[in-house]
C-alpha cells in the first residue's frame, strides 16, 4: 500500500490479521522492506499485523535531494507520521541495521508510541559511540563509513562493473537472486545516493541526542557480524532503563532477517508477548 506522510509517499508492505496487534518493521541499508519477508509469516501466525515501510530515500516518492533531509530526527519523524497515517496510537517496533538506529531514537524520544522494541544488529547509538572511542576492533569494523560519506566517490565504487562492490557487500544475504533483489533497486537513478545520504547526514550530535530507552527492549546480535563487534553489543545494556534482554545468535552474519528469520521471529515474539 501507499501511505502519505509529511508530504511524501511511502510504500508499505502490510500483512497479518486486520485486527491484529500492530508491529512496525524498519529495514536497513542497502535493503528495503522485503528483508522482513521470511520473518513476518511467524508474526502473522501469532496474530500480529505487520507494517514494513520502504523508508525515506528507498520509496521512490519519498526521496528528497538535500543531505540534511536524512538526519536522524527526520527519519524518526517519518516513522511517527506513518503511525499517525495508519491510525496507530502505538505499536511494537523492530529495526535492523539503520532501521535499528531509527528505532532506538524513536523509542527514546516517543516512548508513548512504542509498546516494545526489538533492535537487530546495531546497538544503541551511545553504545556504538563508546565502542568507537575505546575499541580498536570496532574502529576497524566501521571504517567503511568514511567511503560511504563521500558524495560521488561512494556511488562510483559501489556501482562500477554492474555494481560488483555493492553485490559483494550484500553477498551474505543469500543466493544471487536475493542479492539482485536488493542490489537492483539501488541502481535506479538517485536511489543509492538517497540511501547513502543516511550516512552523510549522520552527526555525532544527532547520535548523542538519543537518550536512554525506557520501554521493554530486546537487542539481537550475531557474533559473525562484520560491522558490529562484541564491545558495542555488550555496551548496549547500559543505555536501556526498561526491562532488557540480550539475544545472541551464534554463527549468524549481519543479515539476520535474511539468514536467521526463525530465531529472529522467536526473539521478537518473546519480547512482544513478555508480561508487561
Residue percentage of the chain with pLDDT more than 90: 97
Does residue 84 register a pLDDT over 80?
A: yes
- How far is Cα 94 from Cα 3, in angstroms, rounded to an integer? 19
User: Confidence band (pLDDT; 50, 70, 90) for 204?
Assistant: confident
Mean pLDDT, rounded, for 41-50: 98
Whole-number pLDDT of residue 44? 98
Mean pLDDT, rounded, for 142-163: 97
- The yes-or-no answer on residue 97 being catalytic is yes
pTM greater than the 0.95 cutoff: yes
Report strand pairing: 2-5 vs 8-15.
antiparallel
- How far is Cα 255 from Cα 16, in angstroms, rounded to an integer? 23
Does residue 275 register a pLDDT over 90?
A: no
Q: Which residue carries 524518526 as its cell?
A: 76
The count of other CB atoms within 10 Å of the CB of residue 161 is 7
Choosing from 78, 97, 225, 258, the catalytic residue is 97
How far apart, in Å, do the first and last CA atoms of the chain sit? 32
User: Confidence band (pLDDT; 50, 70, 90) for 32?
Assistant: very high
Q: Where are the domains of the chain?
A: 2-272
User: Confidence band (pLDDT; 50, 70, 90) for 129?
Assistant: very high
Q: What is the mean pLDDT of the chain?
A: 97
CB 141 within 8 A of CB 229: yes
- The yes-or-no answer on residue 51 being catalytic is no
- The yes-or-no answer on residue 180 being catalytic is no
For the domain with range 2-272, which CATH number is right: 3.30.565.10, 3.40.50.970, 3.40.50.1820, 1.10.3480.10?
A: 3.40.50.1820
Amino acid at each position: 500500500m501507499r501511505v502519505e506522510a509529511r508530504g511524501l509517499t511511502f510504500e508499505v508492505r502490510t500483512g497479518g490479521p486486520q485486527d491484529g496487534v500492530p508491529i512496525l518493521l524498519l529495514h536497513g541499508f542497502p535493503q528495503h522492506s522485503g528483508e522482513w519477508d521470511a520473518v513476518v509469516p511467524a508474526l502473522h501466525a501469532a496474530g500480529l499485523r505487520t507494517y514494513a515501510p520502504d523508508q525515506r530515500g528507498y520509496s521512490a516518492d519519498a526521496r528528497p535531494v538535500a543531505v540534511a533531509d536524512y538526519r536522524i530526527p527526520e527519519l524518526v519523524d517519518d516513522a511517527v507520521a506513518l503511525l499517525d497515517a495508519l491510525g496507530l496510537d502505538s505499536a511494537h517496533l523492530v529495526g535492523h541495521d539503520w532501521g535499528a538506529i531509527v528505532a532506538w531514537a524513536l523509542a527514546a524520544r516517543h516512548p508513548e508510541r512504542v509498546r516494545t522494541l526489538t533492535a537487530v544488529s546495531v546497538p544503541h547509538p551511545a553504545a556504538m559511540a563508546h565502542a568507537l572511542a575505546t575499541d580498536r576492533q570496532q574502529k576497524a569494523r566501521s571504517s567503511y563509513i568514511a567511503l560511504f560519506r563521500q558524495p560521488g566517490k561512494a556511488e562510483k565504487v559501489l556501482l562500477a562493473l554492474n555494481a560488483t562492490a555493492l553485490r559483494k557487500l550484500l553477498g551474505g544475504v543469500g543466493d544471487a537472486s536475493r542479492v539482485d533483489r536488493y542490489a537492483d533497486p539501488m541502481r535506479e537513478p538517485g536511489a543509492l545516493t538517497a540511501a547513502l545520504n543516511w550516512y552523510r547526514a549522520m552527526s555525532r550530535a544527532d547520535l548523542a541526542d538519543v537518550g536512554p530507552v525506557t520501554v521493554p527492549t530486546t537487542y539481537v546480535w550475531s557474533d559473525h557480524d562484520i560491522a558490529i563487534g562484541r564491545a558495542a553489543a555488550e555496551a548496549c545494556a547500559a543505555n536501556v532503563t526498561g526491562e532488557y534482554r540480550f539475544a545472541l545468535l551464534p554463527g549468524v552474519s549481519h543479515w539476520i532477517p535474511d539468514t536467521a528469520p526463525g530465531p529472529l521471529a522467536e526473539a521478537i515474539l518473546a519480547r512482544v508477548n513478555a508480561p508487561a
